[in-house]
């Protein structure tokens, strides 16, 4: 059995789909709270109903904060994919306590459940590049016409050895760092088969992008519907983007490898780097329409550039990205045209 926390979310639903279609029994655990936090009720409802229709899937509405229930849910699992999280930096600034409870305590609860009820299960934790905080902005960067780019020894991207200490973080970065460190420690101290994926920007179908989270999907939806965009900064911010099926392939490789507290930076790497300005050009070419854009000041804790050094994942997991930007963005646009562009953020 594969247990997927946050299984009605974007990443979790793709993990559930992959293993369900492979014939494995899948248990999806989700408290369906993301819609309340980000204001996309229809999105969460659709993902929840969609994942329940998959073959071999049982969906349980439950919270990772329910420490008493989790051991029963993971008992008998051969693997756990922990994708349940509070995912938005902006939400963490407004409500840091809930952010901490979900991302830090929720992760601890799940680790304790696995330790008690499924100690041989492999576990992959969906962490984030935000654990590196402002240390990324201290790396040498050059400003190009359309993007920022790392210089010198950093041109291959950010390695797992970059410090996560002595820098500014958002509350989201702190809570995810806490979970990240606990997953490492449970692998080393208790011998659990754990791996941490410090993920860059994942995108693809069933991503209900909003202005607070899922920026490439939000840009694509704006291109199709005429919604206005706000870019904070100069638009040269650059991220490596990774199509969701490539992420799932990396997760599967990690679950099949004997790992104990390993950390991997997972993203598209330098070959799949994309700035906000470049994304607008991709969308204009593929969607035939360019969103209207206004610019505001930089947001706290934003990184001018983050590109993953994926060489460790390539070496240890035998993995590398396969879906290019044209195919990936085209697939996202096609899904949005048929399914996702009608969703609107709730006005509060």
Write out pLDDT tens, residues 231-248: 999 999 999 999 999 999
Q: Is the pLDDT of residue 42 over 60?
A: no
Q: Is the pLDDT of residue 37 over 70?
A: no
Q: Identify whether 72 is part of a domain.
A: yes
How far lies 7's CA from each of 136, 234, 259, in Å? 30, 35, 23
pLDDT band at 45 (very low <50, low <70, confident <90, very high): low
Contact 199, 239 (CB under 8 A): no
Weakest mean pLDDT among 24-38, 83-97, 156-170, 237-251: 24-38
Contact 211, 347 (CB under 8 A): no
Q: Is the pLDDT of residue 277 over 50?
A: yes
Q: Is the pLDDT of residue 289 over 80?
A: yes
Q: Identify whether 200 is part of a domain.
A: yes
pLDDT band at 47 (very low <50, low <70, confident <90, very high): confident
Weakest mean pLDDT among 58-62, 157-161, 314-318, 334-338: 334-338
- CA torsion sign, 75 to 72 to 127 to 283? positive
pLDDT band at 34 (very low <50, low <70, confident <90, very high): low
Q: What's residue 347's pLDDT?
A: 31
Q: Enumerate helices (H) and strands (E) in the chain, giving the number of each.
A: 13, 15
Q: What's residue 299's pLDDT?
A: 82
Q: State how far the Cα of 279 lies from the Cα of 218, in Å rounded to an integer.
A: 11
Q: Identify whether 92 is part of a domain.
A: yes
Better-scored residue on pLDDT, 189 or 339: 189
Q: State how far the Cα of 132 lies from the Cα of 20, in Å rounded to an integer.
A: 34
Q: What's residue 189's pLDDT?
A: 97
State the CATH number of the domain containing residue 165.
Answer: 3.40.50.720
Better-scored residue on pLDDT, 45 or 77: 77
Q: Identify whether 87 is part of a domain.
A: yes
Weakest mean pLDDT among 34-43, 61-70, 188-197, 275-284: 34-43
In sequence order, the β-bridge partners of residue 194 are 123
Q: Identify whether 348 is part of a domain.
A: no
Q: What's residue 27's pLDDT?
A: 98
Q: What's residue 43's pLDDT?
A: 53
Q: State how far the Cα of 314 lies from the Cα of 320, in Å rounded to an integer.
A: 6
Structural domain for 92, as ranges: 2-340
Contact 146, 275 (CB under 8 A): yes
Tokens encoding 274: 């994309």
Q: Identify whether 26 is part of a domain.
A: yes
Mean pLDDT of 125-134: 96
Q: State how far the Cα of 144 lies from the Cα of 153, in Å rounded to an integer.
A: 18
pLDDT band at 128 (very low <50, low <70, confident <90, very high): very high
Contact 81, 2 (CB under 8 A): yes
Q: Identify whether 27 is part of a domain.
A: yes
Ramachandran angles phi, psi of 294, nearest 5°: -125, 155
**In the 8-state DSSP scheme, what is residue 202?**
E
Q: What's residue 31's pLDDT?
A: 93
Q: Identify whether 228 is part of a domain.
A: yes
Q: State how far the Cα of 256 lies from the Cα of 100, in Å rounded to an integer.
A: 30
Ramachandran angles phi, psi of 21, nearest 5°: -75, -15
- How many structural domains compose the chain? 1
């Amino acid at each position: 059995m594969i247990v997927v926390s946050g299984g009605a979310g974007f990443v979790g639903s793709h993990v559930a789909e992959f293993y369900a279609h492979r014939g494995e029994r899948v248990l999806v655990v989700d408290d369906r709270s993301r819609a309340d936090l980000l204001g996309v009720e229809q999105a969460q409802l659709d993902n929840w109903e969609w994942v329940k229709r998959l073959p071999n899937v049982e969906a349980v509405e439950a919270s990772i904060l329910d420490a008493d229930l989790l051991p029963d849910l993971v008992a008998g699992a051969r693997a756990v994919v922990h994708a349940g999280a509070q995912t938005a930096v902006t939400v963490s600034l407004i409500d840091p306590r809930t952010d901490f409870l979900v991302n830090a305590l929720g992760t601890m609860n799940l680790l304790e459940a696995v330790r008690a009820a499924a100690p041989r299960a492999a576990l992959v934790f969906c962490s984030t590049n935000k654990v590196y905080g402002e240390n990324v902005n201290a790396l040498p960067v050059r400003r190009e016409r359309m993007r920022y780019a790392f210089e010198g020894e950093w041109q291959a991207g950010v390695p797992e050895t970059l410090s996560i200490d002595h820098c500014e973080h958002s509350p989201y970065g702190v809570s995810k760092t806490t979970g990240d460190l606990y997953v490492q420690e449970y692998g080393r101290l208790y011998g659990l088969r754990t791996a941490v994926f410090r993920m860059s920007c994942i995108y693809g179908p069933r991503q209900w992008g909003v202005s607070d989270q899922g920026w490439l999907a939000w840009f694509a939806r704006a291109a199709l519907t005429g919604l206005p965009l706000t870019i904070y900064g100069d638009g040269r911010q650059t991220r490596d983007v990774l199509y969701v099926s490539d992420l799932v392939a990396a997760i599967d490789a990690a679950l099949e490898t004997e790992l104990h507290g390993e950390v991997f930076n997972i993203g598209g790497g330098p070959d799949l780097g994309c700035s906000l300005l470049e994304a607008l050009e991709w969308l204009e070419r593929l969607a035939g329409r360019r969103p209207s854009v206004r610019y505001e000041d930089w947001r706290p804790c934003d990184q001018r550039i983050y590109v993953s050094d994926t060489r460790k994942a390539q070496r240890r997991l035998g993995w590398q990205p396969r879906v290019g930007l044209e195919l990936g963005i085209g697939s996202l646009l096609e899904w949005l045209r048929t399914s996702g562009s009608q969703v609107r953020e709730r006005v509060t």
